[in-house]
Each structure stands twice: as C-alpha cells, then as structure tokens.
Structure 1
Amino acid sequence: MSLKPCLSSEEGYDNDSGSWIQKPAVAVTVNCEHSDLLLWSGRRCHVSGRWEVKRNGNSVASGSISMTADPDHGNSRFHAYYRCAGHGTYTLTVSNLSGTDATTSNRPRTARPPEVTARGTGC
C-alpha cells in the first residue's frame, strides 16, 4: 500500500456565501497493489486512519479516513475541507493507517504503513 498526502485547494460549496469557491483541502491518494510472481497489479482495498492539519504547530482541523480504494473504478482518493487559519506553514499528518485487501475474503491481507506527512505554506 502506498499513500500520497497533499495539501491543496479544491472547489467546494460555501454555505456562508451560497456559492462555489476554492477551499483549502486535504487529499490522500491510496494505491494498493499485489504481486503475482513477477507482476504487480492494483487491488481494491479498505483503508482507515486519521488525518490532522496543523498551522505553525497548532491543530486547525482533524478527522478520520474510511474509504474503499478501487483502481478499477477510479476511486483511490480521499479528500476533506478545512478552514484556513491565516498565512503560515501547514502540516498534514496521516496516521493510524490500516489497509485491508478487499479482493480476498478467506484470508485478507492487512498493511499498516507508517505515518506520512506533507508540508506547505499557504492561505
């Protein structure tokens, strides 16, 4: 299982203004793969974990990740919005990760990758 965390901005609905705007967002791309002798192939897997965004070391948003990554149907990305807390250095941490192969029901394989982080300056 591989993960790519990202801090970005995505179009989202703003309830205050009643319009679609660019909003700060957390994105985590998940790839689950399996090796059959020499070849690797993408697999459907269930992924869970936690995410947290900090600005200058102070927590501004957090939540849980629970999704099924399915490369055959284009679903391999988790995203969530958060509120900008002013200009600064933002850090996204994805932790307590677990990914279970969803294609084998009799002996599912589970991976527990280490914590991953992404940093950026923004807002």
Structure 2
Amino acid sequence: MKSNMRQFLLAGACLAGISVALPAQAASPAPAAPSAPAAAPAYSTATTPIGDLLDNPATKAVLVKDVPALVSNPQIDMARGMTLKQVQAYAADTLTDDVLAKIDADLARVPAAK
C-alpha cells in the first residue's frame, strides 16, 4: 500500500509540475515594444505665437486660407505674442473650436522651420 501511495504521490507531483509548466510554456508572446510616440506638430494653435505663424510663409499661408479676416485685421500685430487659442476668447465667432481644429490639421502638415 505504501508503494501505491508513493506512486500516487509521485504521479500527482509530476502532473502538478506539468500543469504548472504548461501555462508558462503556452503563454502568449511578449508584447512588442511600444513604438515611439508620434512627434508633436511643429506648430499649433495652442502653443505657437501668432507672430511666429505670420512670420513663416508656410504657416501664414494656412492662416490666410483658414482665417483670412484675422490675417488682414489691422489689429493683428497687437496679438503677435498670443496664440490663436488665447485670441479665441476675444474672437469666439471667428475662431471656433472647429476652425482651430482645421488650422491645427493644416499646420500639422507644415514641417518645422530650420
């Protein structure tokens, strides 16, 4: 009886070892390393001063296309140090969230000045 009990325990231990080993062997492959986060756009309505946007021909073209009345406004020079997002508080009818999103999408296509 001792022999049968010993074989039973030995068999149980072996099976326990196999059942523990199987999940580790069948584990899913390690996840791929996360890719580098996308680079932030060089220009944005929230971070780039209007003066910088006006001084760069490529970004000024975006403003002329998307908000021509703002670019031609004689008071625009007073806002050169502000961002379009900051000016939105004073020109909410012109610089709506949708307009700023469109400008940001267009600015994202403009490479950073060297």
Q: Which has the higher contact order (CA 8 A, sep 6+)?
A: 2
Q: Indicate the structure with greater helix content.
A: 2
TM-score w.r.t. length of structure 2: 0.22
Larger Rg: 2
* TM-score, with length taken from structure 1: 0.21
